[in-house]
Amino acid sequence: MKVKYTIDRATSSPVRLKRRRSRSTMPDYAKMKKPDVKLVILGDMNVGKTSLLHRYMERKFKDTISTVGGAFFLKQWGRYNISIWDTAGREQFHGLGSMYCRGASAILLTYDVTSWQSLAELEDRFLSLTDTASDDCIFAVVGNKADLTDAMAVEQEGEQEESCPASVCPTPPASPSAHKQVHREDAMALYRRILRYKMLDERTSLPAESMCFETSAKTGYNVDQLFETLFDLVLPSIMKKRDDEKISTVDLEQSADVAKAKSHCCS
């Protein structure tokens, strides 16, 4: 079964963990295992973070209300289990962001291509929250709502209509309906500033051209490519984590053997 967890926070009550069951899309054995790695989606409210996650995980677009606290899905990728965290963008939940980012292997910094302010907020409010992520964390800069400005994103929606109900794939506008305020070059410039903030060498880091995406949660444009590119990139983190766990296990076993040998010597 696929299990979605939500973490809600109210001003007068502690953090609560709720469990919701939905239709089975994941084998039980995968559900029972701990996540191998964690991905986190950050960004201002109304940029479409939750819609992106629903588009990828549930293969459909649906209007959502603002996320309260956070929520995550477990995704099986081959034989690995990946948790994808959706976080609240509202100012009142800002302090929770660093907790959700703790130990993350990849972070999606998400903005709205029709809102310059949403890009600026990534650097002003959200970048510092990533200080708790893993040292080898991968960053992607994601511009959502491309269907409002990009004819290619609109066309993809039209192609999908043939194979899914109108309620799932809404009729696209005749032409882009909003002014694009953030261009790809702006996102790439932000990505390079992220590398400098993290004191990473741009020459040895993943290139900005590969880590800046424009997507549409409404039409599905580039959504699969975004998540699956990141899944492939975090595989080394998964392998390193498992190798470290094996080393720790071996060390514990060796320590036990040494202690046992000493006890025999003294008896």
Residues 6+ apart with CB under 8 A from 171: 161
pLDDT beyond 90 at 2? no
**Whether the Cβ atoms of residue 38 and residue 82 lie closer than 8 Å to each other:** yes
Q: Band of the pLDDT at 236, cuts 50, 70, 90? A: confident
Which range, 33-37, 159-163, 238-242, is most confident?
A: 33-37
**Contact of 114 with 79, CB cutoff 8 Å:** no
Q: Confidence class of residue 257 from pLDDT cuts 50, 70 and 90?
A: low
Q: What is the mean pLDDT of residues 95-101?
A: 85
If we measure between CA atoms, which residue out of 24, 225, 13 comes closest to residue 4?
Answer: 24
The runs of H, that is alpha helices, within the chain are 28-32, 49-58, 97-101, 116-121, 151-160, 184-197, 208-211, 223-266
The pLDDT confidence band at residue 237, using thresholds 50, 70 and 90, is confident
Ordered by start, the domain boundaries in the chain are 3-236
Class of domain 3-236 as given by CATH = alpha beta
pLDDT digits (tens, 9 = 90+) for 157-213: 555 544 444 334 443 444 566 799 999 999 999 999 999 999 999 999 999 999 999
pLDDT tens digits, residue range 102-159? Answer: 999 999 999 999 999 999 999 999 999 999 999 999 999 999 999 999 877 776 555 5
pTM above 0.75, yes or no: no
